[in-house]
Chains A and B, each alone.
Chain A
Amino acid sequence: GAVVSQHPSWVICKSGTSVKIECRSLDFQATTMFWYRQFPKQSLMLMATSNEGSKATYEQGVEKDKFLINHASLTLSTLTVTSAHPEDSSFYICSARKSGHSGSGSYNEQFFGPGTRLTVL
C-alpha cells in the first residue's frame, strides 16, 4: 500500500500566530512531497514541491517566507504557515510521490494525505 497521513486534521488559530502541518508517508519513502491549497468549491492549487534534504520549490505567487517547508527525512515534510491571517483559511493537502517499476514501465504516482482544514480567526 501507500498511505499518507497529515496532522492535524483541523486547526483553529488566532490571526498572527503560526501553524505547523505535518505530512508523513507511512509505508514508503518519499524524496518528493507536494503541498496544495484548496479553497471551497475550487480545485487543488500546487503551492510548492518539497524535496528531501534541499530547499523547496515554490510556485509563482506563493510567498516562501510565509509558507515555510521543511523536508528533513524521507517520510516527513512540514508546512508552517507563519503569521496566519483569515485569508489563509483553507484546506491544505499534501501528497507524497512514490516511484517504482511495474510491468508497464517506471511510474511516479502521488498519494494524498487526508488534508488539514485551517481556520484563522
Chain B
Amino acid sequence: GENVEQHPSTLSVQEGDSAVIKCTYSDSASNYFPWYKQELGKRPQLIIDIRSNVGEKKDQRIAVTLNKTAKHFSLHITETQPEDSAVYFCAASINTGTASKLTFGTGTRLQVTL
C-alpha cells in the first residue's frame, strides 16, 4: 500500500519568514495530494491540494509543488503569521472511481513565533 513520509516533525519560524514542509510517497499511481491544517482538538481542514497533472499550485500565501518523478511534494507558506501555528498533514491518494482513500503523513507541528 501507499506510504507517506513527512519532514520535519516540528518547525519553528519567526513571524514573516517562510515555512516549507516536505513529503514523499511510495505509490506512483497516487494522483491526488491534499494538505490539511489541524488545530488542537479540531478536525483537519483542507488548505490546498494538487493533482498529478500539474506541478505547482498557489493560493495567496500558500503554495504546493509536486515532483512526480521523484515522488515528492512540498508545502510552502510565505509571510507566516501566528495563526498559521498548527499541525500540518500531507496526504496522498489514488483519486479515481471508488478508490481515493487517503494515506496521511506523520504531521508537522509548525510554531510561528513573534
Q: A108-B100, A110-B102 are in contact. Are A43 and B89 (CB under 8 A)?
A: yes
Q: Does A8 contact B (CB under 8 A)?
A: no
> Chain A: interface residue count, which band?
20 to 34
Bound Cα distance A45, B107 (Å): 12
Bound Cα distance A91, B96 (Å): 28
Instruction: Flag if B46 contacts A109 (CB, 8 Å).
Output: yes
Q: Does B98 contact A (CB under 8 A)?
A: yes
> Chain B: interface residue count, which band?
20 to 34
Interfacial chain A residues near B95, Cβ < 8 Å = 107-108
Closest CB-CB distance, A108 to chain B, in whole Å? 4
Instruction: Flag if B104 contacts A43 (CB, 8 Å).
Output: yes
Counted as pairs of residues, one from A and one from B, with CB atoms less than 8 Å apart, the total is: 45
Q: A112-B43, A115-B42, A117-B41 are in contact. Are A46 and B102 (CB under 8 A)?
A: yes
Instruction: Flag if A43 contacts B107 (CB, 8 Å).
Output: yes
Interfacial chain B residues near A42, Cβ < 8 Å = 106-107
A34 nearest in chain B by CB position: B101
Bound Cα distance A113, B96 (Å): 22
Besides the contacts A34-B102, A108-B95, A112-B45, what 7 more A-B pairs have beta carbons closer than 8 Å?
A34-B101, A44-B104, A45-B104, A46-B103, A108-B32, A109-B46, A115-B43
Pairs A–B under 8 Å by Cβ, sample size 19: A32-B100, A42-B106, A42-B107, A43-B89, A43-B105, A46-B101, A46-B102, A46-B103, A91-B41, A104-B51, A107-B95, A108-B96, A108-B100, A109-B49, A112-B44, A113-B43, A114-B42, A115-B41, A117-B41
